[in-house]
Structure 1
Amino acid sequence: MEGQIMTKLKFKVNALRTLPSPYKAENKDAESLETIHYLLVNMKDLPEKIPLDVNPRVPKMGTNVAKRLLNAVVEPETDFYINNRGIVISAKSLVFNSSNSEVTIDIGNQDDDDENDDRYNYGILDGGHTYTAIMEKRDEIPEDIVKYVRVEVITNVVNITRLSDARNTSVQVSDIALFNLEDSFDDIRDAIKNEPYADKIAYKDNERKQINISELLRLMYAFDIVKYPDDNAAPIQSYSGKAQVFKRYKDAFDTAFYKSLTKQLPLLVDLYDLIERELYLKYNDYKKKSGVATPRFGNVKGVENIEKGTKTNFLNSETSYSISSGYIYPIFGAFRSLLKFDENSGEVSWLFNPLEMWDEVGTTIAQNTFESSNNPQLAGKDKQLWLSNYRIVETQSLRNLLNKN
């Protein structure tokens, strides 16, 4: 159907090479590991309308760089596939049919209403300008010339944000930085003006400051109870999808809910810092209750015991452990069950103080998290873990309400 966003991409390739994960031999769940496929593709065989939502940048074809790309597609030289970095696609899977040299690439459910947010996990995450230039100009390639482009397909990407940040390194003003020029972060500046990290937030590209503004947006997204009001869905993208987090803020920052939620940023930061600082204590507590005499938190995958000590991400609190955010976010996001929004007043409020609730449920929620997953990148995207942690906090709050009465 015309205009439909494809979920399966089928096209011919001139060559294909596959690079499996080097950790495959030592991992029992080898099928979940990333695999890289290198393709050489005739420009005219590339499918149309490959989604670009996962890409943090929207192609702007009026720049000098973009114009050079457009010219490079149609010029008679055949070295485009050597000179250009190519296109990077994140996908669920890739199947190669050797009989007809055709690949089938699964990029998930690209529907706007897909609760798994495949639109922000699968598609073109780098090379959007290259792809757009090819789509716009390939019909003008001389008939006697075949031009190729390199396509790299990575399947089973666990942390799409890290990969996207690493690949999108060209110097260009980001959408977040442009948004900042419109003073659209003023509410955030005002909310944190008295906090010790107020001067450590980078609102512009290449600012040498400790915390990027996107980190604060992620905290708010994890407590977006308008978009995620209950335990039917989870704000997993606060961990893994910076592009969607920013898009949500851009669309909703001027609503009553987000204006009120923004005022809670100091408390959200305090909560994240508290979890980061005390998670090892809760882990040790649950292990000892399970009969482990000497818990070894530093041996957990994704946790590093730093003898000289280190600092927490936001408040620079002293800690001995560097903990992957893949463990912290499913715990942090569980406390959104305590947040309520009154549409009449336009204000959010708390059933109970989340910092105090952490003391009550920390051990249980740590046990649930570390017994559910020993891989932080998988934990951060585990919907069932997010939801079960949410229910732990929700259940305790209901107990507290009953005791009040």
Structure 2
Amino acid sequence: MNTQLKFKVNALRTLASPYKKNEKEEATSFETIYYLLVNMKDLPENIPLDVNPRVPKMGTNVAKRLINAVVEPETDFYINNRGIVISAKSLSFNSVDSEVTIDIGNQDDESDRYNYGILDGGHTYTAIIQNRNRIPEDIEKYVRMEVITNVINITRLSDARNTSVQVSDIALFNLEDSFENIRNAIKDENYADKIAYKDNENKPINISELLRLMYAFDVVKYPDDSVAPIQSYSGKAQVFKRYKDAYDTPFYKSLTKQLPVLVELYDLIERELSLKYNEYKKKLGVAIPRFGSVKGVENIEKGTKTNYLQNRTNYSISSGYIYPIFGAFRSLLRFDEETGEVSWLFNPLEIWEEVGTSIVQNTFESSNNPQLAGKDKQLWLSNYRIVETQSLRKLLKRR
């Protein structure tokens, strides 16, 4: 059941997407920004913070100054403070009662929980909720809120808004040598010295990228075709939280050893996706497929290089297309609880050669928007079933 936040506002302004050309275009494909001015006493309690990459720490000096700003008798808080940013499914406004209703999805569903809620301003929100009863009775204090609906890429938005200079959770985790298993797994790979484990480290691949690859193959959390690890594409905070909770378990220790295979598979898909696209288009009778004209694909005349292995390619492809394909090969991974080891039912690189064209066709015929494709659960699951079906065929041939 979806959570509805209903509260009064002092003012509301709407900024529609400049890319929506007319009312006939599908509303859910475009972001809308709502600017609200809210009396602190009307702010609803228990707005979820899971989508926010930071957990509010109210004992710091910065937090204490924030609390003081909430309770002091000055009325310029809404001017001085950046406010609260909420990602939501929808917002409606009752102009008669000056009341908004904000839909933040089903918070019991993991996908909604890590896509809707407060993604910036968690400290501001916590300071207000915990201390608004201390505001002088004769003073009304307001906070700015920004509600954005239909956010396509929650990770990019979260990264852009959470720009305060501080040591990240990932960097602190690294100080405890908790990435040692990863270092050992990739020590012989040519990209081993290109991984950034620290904040502001001048290296091309952030450690979070490797965590995303493993999350997409988390067969303990996502064991079958009823669930999909969509957060590997869209939820950096959830990916890190899962690694932090599970990195020392037998499963994750064994999965980490497979990182070289996962990187090679991702690189192969990135490098050959254009070829598979052309193959399926030609089978449909398209004489000259135009992969470079697909939304989210850039044809680079002088060529570019793949993300991990730096192989030459002519296309820069949005990961929103790659991840639903990459994650489908999770169906080939098995985890033996008795031995604590993972193994492959079949080599994923070989299966890619066998079903790559079909899975690419399924992906591009399901969506022509990479950001929507990356979050499309049904696309993830249907791709998974293509790989699973191929593995079953091969098993039957063995008998």
TM over 0.5: yes
Q: Deviations over 1:143-188 (max 9, x none)?
A: 1111111000001111111110111000111111111111111101
Q: Which moved more, 1:66-75 or 1:285-294?
A: 66-75
Q: 2:327 aligns with which of 323, 333, 341?
A: 333
Aligned to 1:103: 100
2:111·2:230 contact (CA, 8 Å) conserved in 1? no
Q: Deviations over 1:278-320 (max 9, x none)?
A: 0000000000111000000000000000111111111111111
- Determine the C-alpha separation between the residues in 2 that align with 1:397 and 1:374: 28
Per the alignment, in what secondary structure is the counterpart of residue 164 of structure 2? coil
Displacement of 1:31 in angstroms is 3.5
Q: 1:368 aligns with which of 362, 382, 387?
A: 362
Q: Which moved more, 1:193-202 or 1:371-380?
A: 193-202
Displacement of 1:30 in angstroms is 3.1
Aligned to 2:45: 48
Aligned to 1:196: 190
The 5 Å alignment of 1:348-367 reads 348-367=342-361
2:49·2:119 contact (CA, 8 Å) conserved in 1? yes
- Determine the C-alpha separation between the residues in 2 that align with 1:167 and 1:366: 33
Aligned to 2:36: 39
- What is the root-mean-square deviation of aligned Cα atoms in Å? 1.2
Flag the 1:366–1:6 CA change in 2: closer, same or farther, 3 A: closer
Displacement of 1:6 in angstroms is 8.5
2:2·2:103 contact (CA, 8 Å) conserved in 1? no
1:6·1:50 contact (CA, 8 Å) conserved in 2? no
- Determine the C-alpha separation between the residues in 1 that align with 2:336 and 2:64: 50
Aligned-pair identity (%): 84
The 5 Å alignment of 1:181-260 reads 181-260=175-254
Q: TM-score, normalised by structure 2?
A: 0.98
Report the AA paired with residue 217 of structure 2.
Answer: F
- Determine the C-alpha separation between the residues in 1 that align with 2:183 and 2:3: 40
Q: 1:129 aligns with which of 112, 123, 133?
A: 123
| Structure 2, gaps ≥5 residues long | none
Report the AA paired with residue 71 of structure 1.
Answer: N
Displacement of 1:404 in angstroms is 2.1
- Determine the C-alpha separation between the residues in 2 that align with 1:303 and 1:227: 31
- Determine the C-alpha separation between the residues in 1 that align with 2:305 and 2:77: 46
Aligned to 1:165: 159
- Determine the C-alpha separation between the residues in 2 that align with 1:179 and 1:284: 43
- Count of matched residue positions in the alignment of Structure 1 and Structure 2: 398
The 5 Å alignment of 1:315-334 reads 315-334=309-328
Per the alignment, in what secondary structure is the counterpart of residue 145 of structure 1? coil
Per the alignment, in what secondary structure is the counterpart of residue 117 of structure 1? helix
Are residue 302 (structure 1) and residue 299 (structure 2) matched?
no
| Structure 1, gaps ≥5 residues long | none
Q: TM-score, normalised by structure 1?
A: 0.96
- Determine the C-alpha separation between the residues in 2 that align with 1:60 and 1:204: 21
Structure 1 segments, 4+ long, off by >4 Å, are none
- Determine the C-alpha separation between the residues in 2 that align with 1:28 and 1:290: 28
1:107·1:118 contact (CA, 8 Å) conserved in 2? yes
Are residue 176 (structure 1) and residue 170 (structure 2) matched?
yes
2:106·2:112 contact (CA, 8 Å) conserved in 1? yes
- Determine the C-alpha separation between the residues in 2 that align with 1:151 and 1:379: 29
Aligned to 1:275: 269
Aligned to 2:114: 120
- Determine the C-alpha separation between the residues in 2 that align with 1:18 and 1:80: 22
Q: Deviations over 1:118-155 (max 9, x none)?
A: 11111000001111111122111111111111000001
